[in-house]
Amino acid sequence: MRAPKTTIQRKLVLAIMLTSTTALVLTGAVLIAREASSLRQLVEREVTTRAGILAANSTAALAFRNPDDAIQVLAALRTDPSVIAAALYDESGQLFATYPSNVAPSVLPRAFGGVGHRIEDANLVIRQQVLEGTRLLGTLYIRTDLRELDERVRMHALVVLCAVLGSIGVAYVLSIWLQRKIAGPVRALATAAKAVSEGKDYSIRADAVSDDELGLLAESFNDMLAEIEKRDGALRASEGRLRQLNAELEERVAARTAELESSNRELEAFSYSVSHDLRAPLRSIDGFSKALLEDCGDALGEVGARHLDRVRNAARQMGLLIDDLLGLARLSRAEMRRERVDLGLLAREIVASLSQAQPDRKVELVVTGNPTTEGDPPLLRVVLDNLIRNAWKFTSKHPTARIEVGQTGDNGSRTYFVADDGAGFDMAHASMLFAPFQRLHRQSDFEGTGVGLATVQRIIQRHGGRLWAESAVESGAKFYFTMWEARS
Amino acid sequence: MPILTRSVVHPSRRFWGRLVLASVLTAIVLSPATAGSESARAGRTHEYDLKAVFLFQFAHFVTWPARSFRDETTPITIGVLGEDPFGAALDEVVAGESVGTRRLDVRRYQLAEQVGACHILFISASEADHLPAVLAGLRGRNVLTVGDTKDFATRGGIVGFGVDRNRVKLRVNLAAADSAQLTISSKLLRQAEVVRKGAKR
């Protein structure tokens, strides 16, 4: 778990401070603006009121041309040091009296103009009519310095600023205290979650200290942990059971395999010894039949000799049968190599040796498609030997024969075949073809033991392939096989 | 010399004339040069122009009892008894003027017996010799008596004009004002010297 970039404490403090500072600053600004505005209004009202009183008091002085009295009336302004200058103008607009009485003339307008009040160079200037009843007797001019007002506004702003800064300080202290109340449980929860995820220990529990949503969260978290802990326990238990079952199953498989292997070995030993032990009586039968024929041929007569010949043929047939059975048994035990084998070359060698044995047969061998494969060379020789011998045998009734060895298909799924144009067989009996000792032809028509194709089947199976045949009576047979299908 | 140019805008066109007049009078009265070397005749004329204005101003600062007027619009009458020293000045000053709802009216009387409904009465110097009789004739009536003869106020008149250092001064006899049931504004009194009957200056 990575460390968080910003802590929730900092965010909380930031949020609280941002909110309170904004509120404080805005409030302070409003207060200052309000104070400045109301102070100015107050001063303006004060000055206007004073001007009204002065104007009312100076009517008679203007009416009866008494500048001394007018000066006395204006002298009342002494009480307010912020008044810079004041003046009375008579009804014709001429200067009548001034305050202070010795004021520099440049400070005052020489002639009166306009009424009302306005700000001039940070001074508040008031011009007011002097009326007795409805009669205009003159005008009053008062110039007041607003620096004091500005100073008061500044002072007020300073006080507000100090209050705002103090409040921000208090808010900061409060936010530190508050964030502890909120962030404490969150941090405890995060620590618990981290401990759980790092240690995979679901027995850890978060402390639910607060009674708010965070407490609820911690409670839910604890409930979740309890649930996980329960499921974890159940999972471990079922895993253990499964492992135990597996172990038992493997034990049983091993036991069965051992049983099978031992019975297989016994069977092989039995068939080997049977085959081997059968040879001795056969040799005796053949040997003594031959000796009987040679030594007592005359006494047996022609019929006897013929019977003995049949005995001898039967014995030889049985010998061949035993040889084949031994070969089949050996197949199961022989070690397999895997080498590149040229099936075409092998086929030529086999046909050459067959032609040598029977030079009067006219058999043509055709090799198509450069059939090469990988496998155990002696075993593949047995396969081809059996298939070509079969072809050779079942074409023997025809004057000429054609045997074809080849391959079809591409690298992904190669199929090899051995085809002939001989006697063929009925596809209805195809299922019996590869079972040992099953023959589709009478012994008198074609010799054989019925073991050959069973042997071929066994070898092809050991090479991870399949073997099948297509044929029809008197239109030849075609045997197909594949290699290494199961593994590729 | 005071500068006579003005820049005040006033709603009343007619008022301008009197403003000019008042300015000129003020300037002349307040100027030391005027009283010092100008001819006595011109000085007197200007003096009475100013006094005419003062007569008019009294209408603003004095309150008469309601029964001295027939109704709300009864004019305030300014009377001149005896030889008139104002010429046309008084008529010019009050022309078109009013105090509240009341217009101002000028009347001239030759004999004290002729004085009728009158609110401000200027008693000319020509009547100085029989002033006590004139005042006695006005007793019990609500008339503000004004004069510029010597010791006018101390002799029983209500407001007396005097001249001091080129200025028109006011003297007020409050007892006389009381007996005429007139209320004089304290503002006016601030401008005046209050005297009692019989007091010597």
* Phi, psi of A400, rounded to the nearest 5 degrees: -125, 155
Per-residue model confidence as pLDDT tens digits over A299-321? 888 888 888 888 888 888 888 88
Task: With CB atoms and an 8 Å threshold, state whether A112 touches B99.
Answer: no
List pLDDT tens digits, range A256-296: 999 998 887 887 777 777 777 878 888 888 889 889 888 88
pTM beyond 0.90, yes or no: no
Provide the phi-psi class of A485: left if phi over 0, else alpha when psi is between -120 and 50, else beta. alpha
CB contact under 8 A, A64 and B54: yes
Residues of B in contact with A136 (CB under 8 A): 10, 15
Higher-confidence position of A230 and A473: A230
Give the A:B interface size as CB pairs under 8 Å: 76
For B182, phi then psi, to 5°, come to -110, 140
B26 in reach of chain A (CB within 8 A):
yes
Residue A267: its pLDDT value, please? 79
Alpha carbons A164 and A74: distance in angstroms, whole number: 44
Tokens encoding B139: 């007793």
- Whether chain B has a CB inside 8 Å of the CB on A109: the answer is no
> Which two tokens mark A464?
């991870």
pLDDT tens-digit profile of B19-51?
A: 444 554 444 444 444 334 445 556 667 888 889
| Cβ–Cβ < 8 Å for A343, A379 | no
Q: Quick check: A6 pLDDT over 80? A: no
Give the whole-angstrom CA distance, residue A313 versus residue A123.
154
The radius of gyration of chain B from alpha carbons, rounded to an integer in Å, stands at: 17
- Taking an 8 Å cut-off on Cβ atoms, the answer to whether B22 and A90 are in contact is yes
Please give the Cα distance from A462 to A411 (Å, whole number): 20
Q: What is the pLDDT of residues A127-182, one digit of tens each?
A: 889 988 888 889 999 988 888 888 888 999 999 999 999 999 999 999 888 888 87
Distance (Å) from the alpha carbon of A114 to chain B's nearest alpha carbon: 7
Per the CB < 8 A criterion, the answer to whether A482 and A415 are in contact is yes
| DSSP per-residue codes, A149-205 | HHHHHHHHHHHHHHHHHHHHHHHHHHHHHHHHHHHHHHHHHHHHHHHHHHH--TT--
**For chain B, how many residues are written?**
201
- Residue A95, pLDDT score: 86
| Chain B interface test: which of A59, A68, A88, A91 (most B C-beta within 10 Å) | A91
Burial grade of B122 (CB within 10 A; 0-12, 13-18, 19 or more) = buried
Give me the residues of B, 52-91, that contact A with CB < 8 A: 54, 57, 60-61
d(CA B137, CA A272): 188
Ordered alpha helix ranges (H), A358-410 = 377-394
Structure-token match 């008019």, residue found: B56
Q: Does A252 touch chain B (CB under 8 A)?
A: no
Query: What is Dmax (Cα atoms) for chain B?
Result: 50
Q: What is the band of A81 on the pLDDT scale with cuts at 50, 70, 90?
A: confident
Extract the runs of DSSP E, i.e. beta strands, from B87-166: 98-99, 102-109, 120-123, 144-147, 159-164
pLDDT tens by residue, chain B, 201 residues? 344 333 333 444 444 444 444 554 444 444 444 334 445 556 667 888 889 999 999 999 999 998 889 888 999 999 999 999 998 899 999 998 888 889 999 999 998 888 888 999 999 999 888 899 999 988 889 999 999 998 899 999 999 999 887 788 899 999 999 999 999 999 899 889 998 876 654
If phi > 0 it is left, if psi is from -120 to 50 it is alpha, else beta; for residue B110 that is alpha
Q: What does the alpha-carbon distance between residue A62 and residue B26 come to, in Å, rounded to a whole number?
A: 11
In contact, B80 and B106? CB cutoff 8 Å:
yes
- Do B188 and A64 lie within an 8 Å CB cutoff? yes
Rounded Cα–Cα distance for residues B156 and B147 (Å): 11
pLDDT confidence of residue A252: 94
CB distance from B30 to chain A under 8 Å? yes
Strand partners, A336: none
User: Do the Cβ atoms of B162 and B168 come closer than 8 Å?
Assistant: yes
Question: A21: distance to nearest CA of chain B, Å?
Answer: 55
pLDDT, chain A, mean: 85
C-alpha–C-alpha distance, residues A151 and B14, integer Å: 48
The mean pLDDT of A456-465, rounded to a whole number, is 87
Asked if A41 is an interface residue toward chain B (Cβ–Cβ < 8 A), one would say no
User: In the prediction, which pLDDT does B2 show?
Assistant: 41
Identity of the residue numbered B79: G
Q: Name the more confident of A278 and A471.
A: A471
DSSP B75: P
> Cα–Cα distances in Å, from A228 out to A202, A203, A238?
7, 9, 15
Look at B7 and A65 and tell me if their CB atoms are within 8 Å. Answer: no
CA-to-CA distance for A287 and A297, rounded, in angstroms?
14
On whether ipTM exceeds 0.95, the answer is no
pLDDT given for residue B167 in this prediction = 84
The tens digit of pLDDT for each residue in A37-79 reads 998 888 889 888 999 999 999 999 998 888 888 998 999 899 8
Residue A294 main-chain phi, psi, to 5 deg: -75, -40
Q: B146 in contact with A at a CB cutoff of 8 Å?
A: no
Nearest to B60 among A66, A91, A133 (CB): A133
Does residue A325 surpass a pLDDT of 60?
A: yes
